[in-house]
């Protein structure tokens, strides 16, 4: 019995498989939809057309077989009216004259025929001819009606075929070349031991071929039509989606801080409206960002003057305890202003990306740490990365300072894979509770043991480091290391340049 959970998982699996096979681009999806639509319309149209063709073919074959049955019944009635001795002479005269409807022959019994592939129309024709003859000549005791290909037709029990008789006997009656047509053979017992053999063609000799809606030429025509429609659809869809690709590139460049390329002024009305709306939105966002940064820097800078005045006035207080409390509050406020200025400064680094030898960059920081008397381990790797030197140094320095404050020993490793270069900085401190890992990047967030180890910190270093790494199209991952301590991993693309503006 299926449970709701199993049904949901099955639906999810089906959706994943469908997503895997469906193109991700708008061009691919529109092309797939148009191709599927054309194929569906062609399939439905062909099905309707084939049904109509089969209905018309059955009607035509039934009518033609009825006329052929009447002609065969007339011939049988004529031979029944002749004396037995005259029948051979009449048949000989028919052969000499040519142009008759039937090739006739007298036999002592029915001639066996090679089995003919049963098809709907051939069975319908045989049944209709047999029905008409039996209705008009109920006295006929035995009647055999069958189809045979010209090369399989036998005129008598001794195996005489078309190639064994003069051409003038059959050339105006049966079609043997260049494309043979099925021959209808009618055999009727006139009297015991006397059989009349009649061979003829349907009024439409190639009635079987005309009923096939999926013949080679028709299938080829459908395939050519489908290819033509698909190519035209692909060109039209590509022409429609090309401006959307330009808009996507412009939005991506604007999001990364690059110069936005000019959007094409051609395309559909909807695209032009979207491009104008995007341009206006970009201008408003740019003005908002510039105004916000200018206001933030101005406020942070201007706050330093009243803070300094308050410190001077606090010196005039007579109460030592009150003066100390004022100084502590003002120092904390000053640190917050300095942190805000640093946050704006560190997030607005204008540098050109260049190839950086990580061994040299990290090695200098490691030497400075060792001079300060801290324990640090680092092994050269010979790996290079394309990045902004000062920005990357600041990100690594923030992580390294955190590790030095909260751990007794620090180790740095650099590795490279096909996709990215990883710089791992591990401290051997107490680590971080799992539920607190997600909040470490928030501004001014400091854990309890962090406030005890580093009282001068402001909780901005990790956020600044993550912004710098993300500006390099990378990611900063924090996790507890096996064996204790916090592991900070900087992953940078192995072959990608960072944004020109952080």
Q: According to the model, what pLDDT value does residue 309 have? A: 77
Q: Which residues of the chain form CATH 3.30.565.10?
A: 350-493
pLDDT attached to residue 72? 92
3-state per-residue secondary structure call for 74-121: HHHHHHHHCCHHHHHHHHHHHHHHCCCCCEEEEECCCCCCCCCCCCHH
Which one has a higher pLDDT value, 338 or 457?
A: 338
Q: Is residue 496 scored above 60 in pLDDT?
A: no
Give the model's pLDDT for residue 501. 43
What does the alpha-carbon distance between residue 21 and residue 323 come to, in Å, rounded to a whole number? 72
**What percentage of the chain reaches a pLDDT higher than 90?**
14
The confidence score (pLDDT) of residue 65 equals 92
> Strand 409-416 to strand 375-378: parallel, antiparallel, or no bridges (unpaired)?
parallel
Among 497, 468, 467, which residue's Cα sits nearest to residue 354? Answer: 497
pLDDT at 53 (0 to 100): 81
> Mean pLDDT in the chain?
79
Q: What is the mean pLDDT of residues 60-75?
A: 92
How do residues 105-140 score in pLDDT, each as one tens digit?
Answer: 999 899 988 888 878 888 999 999 999 999 999 988
pLDDT interval class at 76 (50, 70, 90): very high
Of 56-70, 126-140, 250-264, the one with minimum mean pLDDT is 250-264
Distance, CA of 411 to CA of 400 (rounded, Å): 9
> If you average pLDDT over residues 458-472, what whole number do you get?
79
Q: Check if the beta carbon of residue 326 is closer than 8 Å to that of residue 310.
A: yes
What average pLDDT score do residues 206-227 get? 74
Residues of the chain with CATH 1.10.287: 269-343
Judged by DSSP in three states, 288 sits in helix
Tokens of 243: 């401006």
Q: How far apart are the first and last CA of the chain?
A: 56
Instruction: With a cut of 90, say whether residue 145 has pLDDT above it.
Output: yes
Pick the CATH number of 350-493 from 1.10.1380.10, 3.30.565.10, 3.40.50.2300, 3.30.420.240: 3.30.565.10
| Helix axes of 120-136 and 26-81: crossing angle, nearest 10 degrees | 20
CATH, domain range 269-343? 1.10.287
> Which of 30-34, 105-109, 337-341, 446-450 is least confident?
446-450
Specify the pLDDT at position 70. 93
H or E stretch at 325: helix 320-346
pLDDT digits (tens, 9 = 90+) for 354-386: 888 999 888 888 888 888 888 888 888 888 898
């Amino acid at each position: 019995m299926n449970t709701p959970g199993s049904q949901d998982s099955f639906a999810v699996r089906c959706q994943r498989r469908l997503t895997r096979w469906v193109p991700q681009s708008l061009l691919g999806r529109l092309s797939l939809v148009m191709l599927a639509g054309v194929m569906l319309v062609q399939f439905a149209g062909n099905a309707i057309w084939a049904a109509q063709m089969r209905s018309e073919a059955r009607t035509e074959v039934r009518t033609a077989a009825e006329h052929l049955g009447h002609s065969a019944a007339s011939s049988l009635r004529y031979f029944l009216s002749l004396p037995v001795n005259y029948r051979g002479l009449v048949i000989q005269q028919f052969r000499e004259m040519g142009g008759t409807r039937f090739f006739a022959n007298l036999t002592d019994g029915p001639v066996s025929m090679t089995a003919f592939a049963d098809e709907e129309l051939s069975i319908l024709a045989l049944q209709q001819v047999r029905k008409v003859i039996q209705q008009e000549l109920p006295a006929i005791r035995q009647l055999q009606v069958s189809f045979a290909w010209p090369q399989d037709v036998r005129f008598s029990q001794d195996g005489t075929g078309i190639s064994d008789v003069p051409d003038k006997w059959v050339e105006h009656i049966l079609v043997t070349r260049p494309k043979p047509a099925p021959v209808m053979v009618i055999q009727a017992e006139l009297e015991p031991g006397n059989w009349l053999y009649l061979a003829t063609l349907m009024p439409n000799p190639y009635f079987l071929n005309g009923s096939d809606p999926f013949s080679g030429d028709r299938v080829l025509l459908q395939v050519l039509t489908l290819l033509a429609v698909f190519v035209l659809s692909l060109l039209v869809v590509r022409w429609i989606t090309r401006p959307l690709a330009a808009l996507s590139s412009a939005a991506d460049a604007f999001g990364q801080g690059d110069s936005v390329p000019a959007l094409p002024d051609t395309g559909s009305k909807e695209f032009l409206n979207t491009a104008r709306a995007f341009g206006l939105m970009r201008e408003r966002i740019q003005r908002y960002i510039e105004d916000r940064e200018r206001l933030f820097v101005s406020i942070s800078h201007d706050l330093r003057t009243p803070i300094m005045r308050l410190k001077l006035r606090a010196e005039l207080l007579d109460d030592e305890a009150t003066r100390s409390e004022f100084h502590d509050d003002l120092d904390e406020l000053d640190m917050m202003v300095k942190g805000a200025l640093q946050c704006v400064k560190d997030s607005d680094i204008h540098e050109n990306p260049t190839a950086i030898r990580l061994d040299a960059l990290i090695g200098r920081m490691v030497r400075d740490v060792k001079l300060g008397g801290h324990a640090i381990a680092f092994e050269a790797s010979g790996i290079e990365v394309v990045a902004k030197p000062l920005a990357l140094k600041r990100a690594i320095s923030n992580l390294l300072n955190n590790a030095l404050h909260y751990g007794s020993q620090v180790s740095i490793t650099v590795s490279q894979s096909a996709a990215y270069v990883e710089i791992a900085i591990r401290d051997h401190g107490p680590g971080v509770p799992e539920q607190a890992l997600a909040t470490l990047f928030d501004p001014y967030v400091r854990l309890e043991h962090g406030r005890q180890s580093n009282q001068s910190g402001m909780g901005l270093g990790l956020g600044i480091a993550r912004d710098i790494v993300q500006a390099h199209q990378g990611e900063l991952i924090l996790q507890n290391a096996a064996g204790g301590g916090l592991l900070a991993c900087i992953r940078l693309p192995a072959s990608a340049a960072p944004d020109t503006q952080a």
